[in-house]
Structure 1
Protein backbone atom coordinates (compact mmCIF):
# COMPACT_ATOMS: atom_id res chain seq x y z
CA UNK A 1 0.00 0.00 0.00
CA UNK A 2 1.31 3.49 -0.80
CA UNK A 3 2.04 5.73 2.19
CA UNK A 4 -1.00 7.89 1.33
CA UNK A 5 -3.26 4.84 1.03
CA UNK A 6 -1.92 3.41 4.30
CA UNK A 7 -2.65 6.66 6.14
CA UNK A 8 -6.09 6.92 4.57
CA UNK A 9 -6.81 3.32 5.56
CA UNK A 10 -6.05 4.14 9.20
CA UNK A 11 -8.58 7.02 9.12
CA UNK A 12 -11.28 5.08 7.29
CA UNK A 13 -10.84 2.05 9.54
CA UNK A 14 -11.09 4.26 12.65
CA UNK A 15 -14.28 5.92 11.43
CA UNK A 16 -15.89 2.67 10.29
CA UNK A 17 -15.13 1.09 13.67
CA UNK A 18 -16.71 4.10 15.33
CA UNK A 19 -19.77 3.77 13.09
CA UNK A 20 -20.04 0.17 14.30
CA UNK A 21 -19.95 1.43 17.91
CA UNK A 22 -22.65 4.01 17.08
CA UNK A 23 -24.93 1.35 15.58
CA UNK A 24 -24.34 -0.98 18.52
CA UNK A 25 -25.12 1.89 20.94
CA UNK A 26 -28.70 2.20 19.78
CA UNK A 27 -30.95 0.65 22.44
CA UNK A 28 -32.79 -1.57 19.94
CA UNK A 29 -33.11 -2.27 16.23
CA UNK A 30 -36.20 -0.11 15.74
CA UNK A 31 -34.54 3.05 17.10
CA UNK A 32 -31.75 2.72 14.52
CA UNK A 33 -34.36 3.45 11.83
CA UNK A 34 -36.14 6.34 13.57
CA UNK A 35 -35.77 10.02 12.73
CA UNK A 36 -36.94 13.29 14.20
CA UNK A 37 -38.92 16.14 12.60
CA UNK A 38 -36.76 17.84 9.99
CA UNK A 39 -34.40 14.85 9.72
CA UNK A 40 -34.95 12.72 6.63
CA UNK A 41 -32.40 9.94 7.15
CA UNK A 42 -32.14 7.55 10.07
CA UNK A 43 -28.79 6.42 11.42
CA UNK A 44 -29.51 3.08 9.73
CA UNK A 45 -29.90 4.83 6.37
CA UNK A 46 -26.73 6.85 6.96
CA UNK A 47 -24.83 3.64 7.68
CA UNK A 48 -26.19 1.97 4.54
CA UNK A 49 -25.27 5.05 2.50
CA UNK A 50 -21.70 5.02 3.82
CA UNK A 51 -21.46 1.29 3.08
CA UNK A 52 -22.69 1.77 -0.49
CA UNK A 53 -20.39 4.73 -1.05
CA UNK A 54 -17.25 2.98 0.17
CA UNK A 55 -17.97 -0.41 -1.37
CA UNK A 56 -18.67 1.20 -4.74
CA UNK A 57 -16.00 3.91 -4.99
CA UNK A 58 -13.15 2.03 -3.30
CA UNK A 59 -14.13 -1.62 -3.58
CA UNK A 60 -15.69 -1.91 -7.03
CA UNK A 61 -14.15 1.00 -8.96
CA UNK A 62 -10.62 0.92 -7.52
CA UNK A 63 -10.37 -2.63 -6.17
CA UNK A 64 -12.31 -4.51 -8.84
CA UNK A 65 -14.74 -6.18 -6.41
CA UNK A 66 -18.09 -7.37 -7.72
CA UNK A 67 -20.11 -5.04 -5.46
CA UNK A 68 -23.13 -3.55 -7.21
CA UNK A 69 -24.51 -0.43 -5.58
CA UNK A 70 -28.23 0.21 -5.14
CA UNK A 71 -28.14 3.80 -3.92
CA UNK A 72 -31.91 4.28 -3.77
CA UNK A 73 -32.20 1.31 -1.39
CA UNK A 74 -29.68 2.92 0.97
CA UNK A 75 -32.29 5.58 1.71
CA UNK A 76 -35.47 3.54 1.22
CA UNK A 77 -34.81 0.77 3.74
CA UNK A 78 -36.68 1.33 6.99
CA UNK A 79 -35.88 -1.78 9.03
CA UNK A 80 -33.15 -4.27 9.80
CA UNK A 81 -31.11 -5.41 12.75
CA UNK A 82 -28.15 -3.65 14.25
CA UNK A 83 -26.17 -6.86 13.66
CA UNK A 84 -26.99 -6.77 9.93
CA UNK A 85 -25.86 -3.16 9.64
CA UNK A 86 -22.65 -3.91 11.58
CA UNK A 87 -21.94 -6.78 9.19
CA UNK A 88 -22.33 -4.43 6.22
CA UNK A 89 -19.99 -1.87 7.80
CA UNK A 90 -17.40 -4.62 8.30
CA UNK A 91 -17.78 -5.68 4.65
CA UNK A 92 -17.17 -2.07 3.66
CA UNK A 93 -13.91 -2.09 5.62
CA UNK A 94 -12.77 -5.14 3.69
CA UNK A 95 -13.60 -3.45 0.37
CA UNK A 96 -11.83 -0.27 1.47
CA UNK A 97 -8.67 -2.26 2.11
CA UNK A 98 -8.97 -4.01 -1.26
CA UNK A 99 -9.36 -0.72 -3.11
CA UNK A 100 -6.52 1.03 -1.30
CA UNK A 101 -4.14 -1.89 -1.84
CA UNK A 102 -4.75 -1.59 -5.59
CA UNK A 103 -3.46 1.99 -5.71
CA UNK A 104 -0.08 3.18 -6.87
CA UNK A 105 1.42 6.65 -6.62
CA UNK A 106 0.67 6.99 -10.32
CA UNK A 107 -3.03 6.08 -10.01
CA UNK A 108 -3.41 8.43 -7.03
CA UNK A 109 -2.25 11.34 -9.20
CA UNK A 110 -4.48 10.40 -12.14
CA UNK A 111 -8.12 11.44 -12.48
CA UNK A 112 -10.52 9.19 -10.58
CA UNK A 113 -11.57 6.52 -13.11
CA UNK A 114 -15.29 7.34 -12.90
CA UNK A 115 -16.91 10.61 -13.96
CA UNK A 116 -18.65 12.16 -10.94
CA UNK A 117 -21.25 14.82 -11.70
CA UNK A 118 -19.31 15.72 -14.83
CA UNK A 119 -15.97 15.88 -13.01
CA UNK A 120 -12.93 13.65 -12.58
CA UNK A 121 -10.88 14.99 -9.68
CA UNK A 122 -7.48 13.49 -8.98
CA UNK A 123 -7.95 10.11 -7.28
CA UNK A 124 -6.11 11.13 -4.09
CA UNK A 125 -8.27 14.24 -3.71
CA UNK A 126 -11.47 12.27 -4.32
CA UNK A 127 -10.40 9.74 -1.68
CA UNK A 128 -9.92 12.55 0.84
CA UNK A 129 -13.48 13.62 -0.02
CA UNK A 130 -14.71 10.06 0.58
CA UNK A 131 -13.05 10.09 4.01
CA UNK A 132 -14.67 13.38 5.04
CA UNK A 133 -18.00 12.13 3.67
CA UNK A 134 -17.79 9.15 6.02
CA UNK A 135 -16.88 11.38 8.97
CA UNK A 136 -19.76 13.76 8.19
CA UNK A 137 -22.35 10.98 8.24
CA UNK A 138 -20.77 9.39 11.31
CA UNK A 139 -21.28 12.67 13.15
CA UNK A 140 -24.88 12.87 11.97
CA UNK A 141 -25.56 9.35 13.22
CA UNK A 142 -24.03 10.15 16.61
CA UNK A 143 -26.09 13.28 17.10
CA UNK A 144 -29.24 11.52 15.97
CA UNK A 145 -28.63 8.67 18.43
CA UNK A 146 -28.19 11.15 21.27
CA UNK A 147 -31.30 13.11 20.30
CA UNK A 148 -33.43 9.97 20.00
CA UNK A 149 -32.26 8.35 23.22
CA UNK A 150 -31.41 11.31 25.44
CA UNK A 151 -28.03 9.69 26.12
CA UNK A 152 -25.24 12.24 26.06
CA UNK A 153 -22.35 9.80 25.85
CA UNK A 154 -20.10 9.72 22.81
CA UNK A 155 -18.69 6.55 21.27
CA UNK A 156 -15.13 7.86 20.82
CA UNK A 157 -15.49 9.02 17.24
CA UNK A 158 -12.27 10.85 16.63
CA UNK A 159 -9.91 8.96 18.90
CA UNK A 160 -6.35 10.12 18.35
CA UNK A 161 -5.05 6.85 19.83
CA UNK A 162 -6.38 4.98 16.80
CA UNK A 163 -4.07 6.99 14.54
CA UNK A 164 -1.03 5.25 15.99
CA UNK A 165 -0.71 2.07 13.98
Structure 2
Protein backbone atom coordinates (compact mmCIF):
# COMPACT_ATOMS: atom_id res chain seq x y z
CA UNK A 1 0.00 0.00 0.00
CA UNK A 2 2.87 2.41 0.70
CA UNK A 3 4.02 2.21 -2.91
CA UNK A 4 0.51 3.14 -4.05
CA UNK A 5 0.29 6.09 -1.65
CA UNK A 6 3.72 7.33 -2.71
CA UNK A 7 2.66 7.04 -6.36
CA UNK A 8 -0.56 9.03 -5.83
CA UNK A 9 1.03 11.70 -3.61
CA UNK A 10 3.87 12.08 -6.14
CA UNK A 11 1.46 12.31 -9.06
CA UNK A 12 -0.55 15.01 -7.29
CA UNK A 13 2.55 16.97 -6.27
CA UNK A 14 3.85 16.83 -9.85
CA UNK A 15 0.48 18.15 -10.99
CA UNK A 16 0.85 20.93 -8.40
CA UNK A 17 4.24 21.80 -9.90
CA UNK A 18 2.67 21.82 -13.38
CA UNK A 19 -0.08 24.17 -12.18
CA UNK A 20 2.40 26.58 -10.56
CA UNK A 21 4.53 26.63 -13.70
CA UNK A 22 1.43 27.29 -15.83
CA UNK A 23 0.79 30.72 -14.32
CA UNK A 24 1.83 33.46 -16.72
CA UNK A 25 3.79 35.24 -13.97
CA UNK A 26 4.29 35.47 -10.21
CA UNK A 27 1.91 38.41 -9.87
CA UNK A 28 -0.94 36.24 -11.16
CA UNK A 29 0.20 33.31 -8.99
CA UNK A 30 -0.21 35.53 -5.91
CA UNK A 31 -3.29 37.45 -7.00
CA UNK A 32 -6.63 37.24 -5.23
CA UNK A 33 -10.05 38.19 -6.47
CA UNK A 34 -13.36 38.97 -4.89
CA UNK A 35 -14.60 35.84 -3.16
CA UNK A 36 -11.19 34.11 -3.40
CA UNK A 37 -9.08 34.94 -0.39
CA UNK A 38 -6.14 32.58 -1.01
CA UNK A 39 -3.83 32.86 -4.01
CA UNK A 40 -2.57 29.84 -5.91
CA UNK A 41 0.94 30.55 -4.67
CA UNK A 42 -0.08 30.63 -1.02
CA UNK A 43 -2.14 27.45 -1.40
CA UNK A 44 0.86 25.72 -3.00
CA UNK A 45 3.05 26.76 -0.07
CA UNK A 46 0.36 25.63 2.34
CA UNK A 47 0.32 22.20 0.72
CA UNK A 48 4.09 21.73 0.84
CA UNK A 49 4.27 23.01 4.42
CA UNK A 50 1.45 20.69 5.42
CA UNK A 51 3.09 17.58 3.94
CA UNK A 52 6.61 18.44 5.01
CA UNK A 53 5.33 18.85 8.55
CA UNK A 54 2.75 16.08 9.01
CA UNK A 55 4.68 13.45 7.05
CA UNK A 56 8.27 14.70 7.11
CA UNK A 57 8.59 16.14 10.60
CA UNK A 58 6.05 14.12 12.58
CA UNK A 59 6.44 10.70 10.95
CA UNK A 60 9.94 11.04 9.50
CA UNK A 61 11.56 13.13 12.24
CA UNK A 62 13.03 15.43 9.54
CA UNK A 63 13.30 18.45 11.83
CA UNK A 64 11.19 20.60 9.51
CA UNK A 65 9.66 23.56 11.35
CA UNK A 66 6.42 24.78 9.83
CA UNK A 67 5.39 28.42 9.59
CA UNK A 68 1.71 28.07 8.68
CA UNK A 69 1.06 31.81 8.95
CA UNK A 70 3.75 32.55 6.36
CA UNK A 71 2.29 29.92 4.02
CA UNK A 72 -0.80 32.11 3.71
CA UNK A 73 0.79 35.57 3.97
CA UNK A 74 4.21 35.21 2.34
CA UNK A 75 5.26 35.94 -1.20
CA UNK A 76 7.56 33.35 -2.77
CA UNK A 77 9.22 32.94 -6.13
CA UNK A 78 8.02 30.29 -8.54
CA UNK A 79 11.47 28.69 -8.24
CA UNK A 80 11.13 28.48 -4.45
CA UNK A 81 7.69 26.91 -4.70
CA UNK A 82 8.91 24.35 -7.24
CA UNK A 83 11.90 23.54 -5.00
CA UNK A 84 9.54 23.06 -2.03
CA UNK A 85 7.32 20.76 -4.10
CA UNK A 86 10.33 18.68 -5.13
CA UNK A 87 11.55 18.59 -1.52
CA UNK A 88 8.09 17.45 -0.43
CA UNK A 89 8.18 14.57 -2.91
CA UNK A 90 11.58 13.49 -1.64
CA UNK A 91 10.68 13.72 2.06
CA UNK A 92 7.35 12.01 1.52
CA UNK A 93 8.88 9.11 -0.42
CA UNK A 94 11.72 8.56 2.06
CA UNK A 95 9.35 8.66 5.02
CA UNK A 96 6.43 6.61 3.76
CA UNK A 97 8.53 3.73 2.43
CA UNK A 98 9.87 3.16 5.97
CA UNK A 99 6.43 2.82 7.60
CA UNK A 100 5.39 -0.68 8.61
CA UNK A 101 1.89 -2.10 8.83
CA UNK A 102 2.22 -1.72 12.59
CA UNK A 103 3.13 1.99 12.21
CA UNK A 104 0.06 2.52 10.03
CA UNK A 105 -2.29 0.89 12.51
CA UNK A 106 -1.13 3.08 15.42
CA UNK A 107 -2.80 6.39 16.19
CA UNK A 108 -1.26 9.31 14.35
CA UNK A 109 1.26 10.81 16.83
CA UNK A 110 -0.43 14.23 16.98
CA UNK A 111 -4.09 14.93 17.56
CA UNK A 112 -5.04 16.97 14.50
CA UNK A 113 -8.68 16.12 13.98
CA UNK A 114 -11.41 16.11 16.65
CA UNK A 115 -10.93 12.38 17.24
CA UNK A 116 -7.83 10.23 17.27
CA UNK A 117 -7.28 8.34 14.03
CA UNK A 118 -4.78 5.82 12.75
CA UNK A 119 -1.76 6.96 10.80
CA UNK A 120 -3.14 5.11 7.77
CA UNK A 121 -6.42 7.04 7.86
CA UNK A 122 -4.58 10.32 8.43
CA UNK A 123 -2.43 9.70 5.33
CA UNK A 124 -5.62 9.35 3.28
CA UNK A 125 -6.88 12.56 4.89
CA UNK A 126 -3.67 14.34 3.80
CA UNK A 127 -4.06 13.02 0.27
CA UNK A 128 -7.64 14.33 0.14
CA UNK A 129 -6.50 17.70 1.49
CA UNK A 130 -3.78 17.90 -1.18
CA UNK A 131 -6.18 17.18 -4.00
CA UNK A 132 -8.88 19.51 -2.64
CA UNK A 133 -6.49 22.46 -2.74
CA UNK A 134 -4.96 21.30 -6.02
CA UNK A 135 -8.40 21.69 -7.58
CA UNK A 136 -8.69 25.18 -6.10
CA UNK A 137 -5.29 26.12 -7.57
CA UNK A 138 -6.32 24.81 -10.99
CA UNK A 139 -9.49 26.90 -10.86
CA UNK A 140 -7.60 29.98 -9.62
CA UNK A 141 -5.06 29.64 -12.43
CA UNK A 142 -7.76 29.41 -15.09
CA UNK A 143 -9.49 32.49 -13.65
CA UNK A 144 -6.34 34.59 -13.53
CA UNK A 145 -4.58 33.52 -16.77
CA UNK A 146 -7.03 35.28 -19.08
* TM band (smaller chain): over 0.9
Structure-to-structure mapping, 1:4-153, within 5 angstroms: 4-77=1-74, 79-150=75-146
Superimposed CA distance per residue, residues 122-154 of structure 1 (whole angstroms, 9 cap, x where no aligned partner): 11011001001000111000000001113xxxx
Shift of residue 117 of structure 1?
A: 4.0
Structure 1 alignment gaps of length 5 or more:
151-165
RMSD between aligned residues: 1.0
> Equivalents in 1 of 2:2, 2:94: separation in Å?
11
Structure 2 alignment gaps of length 5 or more:
none
TM-score (norm 1): 0.85
Superimposed CA distance per residue, residues 104-137 of structure 1 (whole angstroms, 9 cap, x where no aligned partner): 0001011101111443201101100100100011
> Equivalents in 1 of 2:112, 2:11: separation in Å?
26
Aligned length: 146
Equivalent position SS for 1:108: helix
> Equivalents in 2 of 1:105, 1:19: separation in Å?
29
Equivalent position SS for 1:93: helix
> Equivalents in 2 of 1:139, 1:103: separation in Å?
28
> Equivalents in 2 of 1:81, 1:61: separation in Å?
27
